[in-house]
Amino acid sequence: MKNESQTKIRATARRNIYAVDLFCGAGGLTHGLVKAGVNVCLGVDIDPACEYPYTINNNAKFLLKSVEDLSTDELANHFRKNGIKLLAGCAPCQTFSKYNQKATEADKRWWLLREFSRFVNEISPDLVTMENVPRLIKQNVFDEFVANLKVNGYSVVYQIVNCAEYGVPQQRNRLVLLASKLGAISLLSPSEFDKKPQTVKEAIGELPAIHAGTSCHEDPLHQCSALSEINMRRMEVSRPGGTWRDWPKELVVDCHKKSSGKTYPSVYGRMTWDDPAPTMTTQFYGFGNGRFGHPEQNRAISLREGAILQSFPRHYEFVRPGEEICLKSIGRLIGNAVPVTLGEVIGASLLSHVTDETKRMYRSKRRNCRSQ
C-alpha cells in the first residue's frame, strides 16, 4: 500500500501545465509561456491576421473565433487529461486604456471578462492568469471577475508591474493576475527573475540603418513609414528626449499652439538610447503618434524595432514570406501583444508555484504514509 501511494505521489509531481490562451493575438503571452516551459495547446482570437504569426512561431493550434461564440467543449478538448490546466488570456484592453477617453460600458468589449469567467466556471482550470491595462483594476467588471474566482475556490493575487523592471526594453505598466486552486500563489519579483531594465540601444542599437519609407532587404519587417517634407524637417530638429516645444515656431503643429494641445509634449518625439522605450501602442510606427522617433536616424522606428521593444525574438515572423507587409495591420498586432518577457515571467511564476505546491503535497503524503 505504501509503495502504491508513493507511486501516485511521484506521478503527480511529473504533471505538466497545459494551457489555452484566450485573446491570444500574435502570440506574445503564448511565446513567453512556452519559453518558461508551459505547454500551450491552443490560442483563440477573432482576428484572422493573428493565425500565421501565432502558429508559425508557437507549437500550438489556432482557433479563429469570438469567445462569445465559443463553447466549453471547444476548449476543454485541448487540455490533457492528467495535466494541470491553465486558462490564460488578455481581453482586449483598448476599452480600459488611458488612450481611449470615449470608452463606455456600451462597448461590448467591456464585458469580455465575463466570457473569461464563464470558461473558468465551466472548465474549472487549476490555474488562471490574466494580463491587462492598469485602469481595469478600478472597474466593477474586474471586481466581479476576482470575486467569481474566489467563490470558485481560487487563491488570487494581482498587481500592477512595470515591465521594464523585468527586462522588457520599454516602460509598460500592466495589471497581472494569477489564480490557483493548488494553494497560495505569487508573481516572481524582478530580483527572483534576475532581470534589470534594458535600454533602447541594447535592444535595437545593432539593427541596420534604414531611411524613412524604406525597408531592410534581409528583414522586410525592418521597415518604417515615410515622412512628409514638413515631418522630415521636424524630425531633423528633434533631439533625443526632447519635445516639439524645441522646434522653430513655424514647424509646430497648429493644434499644439492651442492651450488644449500643450499637454501632449511627447508626440513627435525621439527616443533616447540610454533609457527603455516608451509604451508601444498600436500606432508606434508613426512619428506623430508618440515618442516613436528613432534616437539617431531621421525616421520613426520600424515594425521590427517595435516588435523587439515588445521583447519578441528578432526573427519572430508576422507575415508569410513574400506577402505584402501592412504597417497598420502588423503595427496593431505588435502594439496589442503581451510582451514576451512578461509572458515568460508569468509562466516561470506558475511553474515555481506548481513545484512548491507539489513538494508540499509530497511531504504531506509521505508523512501520512509513514503514519499508516
Q: Which of 24, 50, 93, 163 is catalytic?
A: 93
**CB contact at 8 A, 40 and 60:** yes
**Termini Cα distance of the chain:** 9
Please name which of 22, 18, 39 lies closest in space to residue 116, comparing C-alpha atoms. Answer: 22
β 173-180/127-132 pair status: antiparallel
**CB contact at 8 A, 340 and 35:** yes
CA distance 16 to 6: 18
Count of residues in the chain = 372
**CB contact at 8 A, 346 and 187:** yes
SS3 content of the chain, % helix, strand, coil (to 5): 45, 15, 40
Give CA separation, 229 vs 226, 251, 257, in Å: 10, 11, 20
Catalytic: 93? Answer: yes
Catalytically annotated residues: 93
